[in-house]
Amino acid sequence: MGVRKAITGAEAAAEAMRQINPDVVVAYPITPQTPIVEQFAKYVADGIVDTEMVPVESEHSAMSATVGAEAAGARAMSATSSQGLALMWEIVAATPGLRLPIVMPLVNRTISAPLNIHCDHSDVMGVTTVGWIQIFSENAQEVYENLLLAIRVAEDTRVQLPAMVNQDGFITSHAVEPVEIFDDAAVRTFVGVRPLDRGLLDLQHVRTIGAMVLPDYLLEVKRAQEEAMMHVFEVYAEAGKELSAITGHQYPFFETYRTEDADAVIVVLNSAAGTAKVAVDAMRALGKKVGLLKPILFRPFPYAEVRDALKDVPVVGVLDRSMDFGAYAPVYTEIRNVLFELDRRPTTQSYIYGLGGRDIMATEIESVFEELLSGKLDPEHQRYIGLRG
């Protein structure tokens, strides 16, 4: 048993970072990520952690310095949101190829323009192709535990890839909820020290990191990177089992909620999954057989496992909190891909919701379920929840 505290999602991330006690944290403030770094800076100032904290002048520098520290052999972290992620994109994209297991909380906020500080997933969905492990969190408790898990997965010598742990801006990051913080000593044993087989400061094994690679080698480098990504599944499962021993919680690749015998299932990420559970309960109380599938590990994407979970469901609705203009929305695309291998495929429907912090209500999700059950669907055209006009 841990200690229950009433804290925000941002503070939950800072609590995880306190227990991880990274060697280096480099960050630049951006709403709604700011309270993570603010809280962590207090831990540094109060001497609660040993971290070298480096305030920099931009996110580009933040990720650059984090990369430098990680390359030198340190356990380094940063945190950002939206435009901050956009500004550090160049270095974010370089990190997986350098095989540096940086772990970074990302507080999801819409990408400008129009300027808007509120939640959607357009920031993270812009970086899902560059090779970071992507983990999503429904609430503050999951933020905390996913960060601990991410450290172990990212740093495992079979993986050595960076990981982002996502939470919804404001909805999770600024909402106070009860969070169970587990024993410092147990958590610190779990996260351990970074297993290091190389490092710039290792003078016995002098090496170059970030060398130029020409056409004769780049394909092989990327193939090796893909191999590492495929190892994430086994490492995630192993580390999850170890973390379970401390927390008593399970760490599946995705969560299913009342999907057994379901006539319709909704797929949705992050905080809206919590609201969707309330909608599922309300529909079930009326005798309507509906359920929820909440992806947690989004990169790598567990295609086979999700397919198995959805194979007997007649209708699947996918709720995306971001768009891919002129193409199917990101989560919808994955679910369509998942289902292709089946002989008898479920009907699907894509929905866009919650952009720029637009509220999503349980009653709206119930209406989506009603629509899915009615069969009046158009799988090739996305629908919009709460759109005027």
Partner 1 sequence: MKEVYEVRMHGRAGQGAKSGSQLLAEAAFREGKYIQSFPEYGSERRGAPTVSYTKIAEKVLRSHEPIVNPDVVLVLDFGIMRSIAVAAGLPDTGILIVNTKVCSAEIKKLAQFNGTLYGVDATGISLELLGMDTPNVPMLGALVKLTGVVKMESLEIVLREHFLPKIGEEKVQKNISMLRKGYEEVFK
Partner 2 sequence: MSERKTWQELELGVELPAATSLGYKTGGWRVLRPVWNASECIHCMICVNYCPDMAIPVTKSEEGVAGKGGRLFKGVVRLETNLDYCKGCGICAHECPTKCLSMIREEEAEQASCKL
**Of 381 and 388, which CB lies nearer to partner 2 in the complex structure?**
388
Instruction: Return d(Cα 367, Cα 23) in angstroms, integer.
Output: 49
* Residue 387 binds partner 2, judged by CB under 8 A: yes
* Residue 44 binds partner 1, judged by CB under 8 A: no
Over the window 65 to 104, marking each residue x when it contacts partner 2 by CB under 8 A and - when it does not, the resulting string is ----------------------------------------
The pairing of beta strand 315-320 with beta strand 76-77: unpaired
**Of 117 and 200, which CB lies nearer to partner 2 in the complex structure?**
117
The entry of partner 1, partner 2, none that residue 277 binds, CB within 5 to 8 Å by partner kind? partner 1
Cβ of 113: how many Cβ atoms within 10 Å?
6
* Residue 205 binds partner 2, judged by CB under 8 A: no
| Ranges within 168-207 binding partner 1 (CB under 8 A) | 168, 170-172, 174-178
Cβ of 189: how many Cβ atoms within 10 Å?
11
Instruction: Return d(Cα 242, Cα 227) in angstroms, integer.
Output: 23
**Of 224 and 387, which CB lies nearer to partner 2 in the complex structure?**
387
* Residue 63 binds partner 1, judged by CB under 8 A: no
**Number of residues in contact with partner 2, rule: CB under 8 A?**
5
Q: Name which position in 47, 50, 113, 381 contacts partner 2 (CB under 8 A).
A: 113
Query: Which segment (181-189, 211-219, 272-280, 374-382) binds partner 1 by CB under 8 A?
Result: 272-280
Q: Name which position in 215, 287, 326, 389 contacts partner 2 (CB under 8 A).
A: 389
358 backbone dihedrals φ, ψ, rounded to 5°: -60, 130
The entry of partner 2, partner 1, none that residue 350 binds, CB within 5 to 8 Å by partner kind? none
Query: Which segment (43-51, 75-83, 348-356, 381-389) binds partner 2 by CB under 8 A?
Result: 381-389
The entry of partner 2, partner 1, none that residue 360 binds, CB within 5 to 8 Å by partner kind? partner 1
Angle at 362 between CA 360 and CA 367, to 5 degrees: 95
What amino acid is encoded at 87 in this protein?
A: L
What SS3 class is residue 139? coil
Question: Are the CB atoms for 172 and 357 separated by under 8 Å?
Answer: no
Instruction: Return d(Cα 322, Cα 312) in angstroms, integer.
Output: 27
**Number of residues in contact with partner 1, rule: CB under 8 A?**
24
What SS3 class is residue 112? coil
**Of 89 and 384, which CB lies nearer to partner 2 in the complex structure?**
384
Closest CA to 156 of 101, 119, 206: 101
Question: Are the CB atoms for 319 and 272 separated by under 8 Å?
Answer: yes
| Ranges within 298-327 binding partner 2 (CB under 8 A) | none
Residue with the two structure tokens 């059950």: 373
What SS3 class is residue 271? coil
| Token output for 155 | 């740093």
The entry of partner 1, partner 2, none that residue 362 binds, CB within 5 to 8 Å by partner kind? partner 1
**Of 47 and 114, which CB lies nearer to partner 2 in the complex structure?**
114
Instruction: Return d(Cα 355, Cα 359) in angstroms, integer.
Output: 9
Q: Name which position in 47, 114, 215, 326 contacts partner 2 (CB under 8 A).
A: 114
Q: Name which position in 272, 297, 316, 319 contacts partner 1 (CB under 8 A).
A: 272
Strands (E), 182-262: 254-257
Question: Are the CB atoms for 51 and 44 separated by under 8 Å?
Answer: yes
Question: Are the CB atoms for 228 and 99 separated by under 8 Å?
Answer: yes
* Residue 118 binds partner 1, judged by CB under 8 A: yes
**Of 47 and 389, which CB lies nearer to partner 2 in the complex structure?**
389
| Ranges within 125-154 binding partner 1 (CB under 8 A) | 139
Give me the numbers of helices (H) and strands (E) for the chain, helices first please.
13, 15
Which residues bind to partner 1, rule: CB under 8 A?
A: 4, 6, 117-118, 139, 168, 170-172, 174-178, 271-272, 274-275, 277-278, 359-362
Which residues bind to partner 2, rule: CB under 8 A?
A: 113-114, 387-389
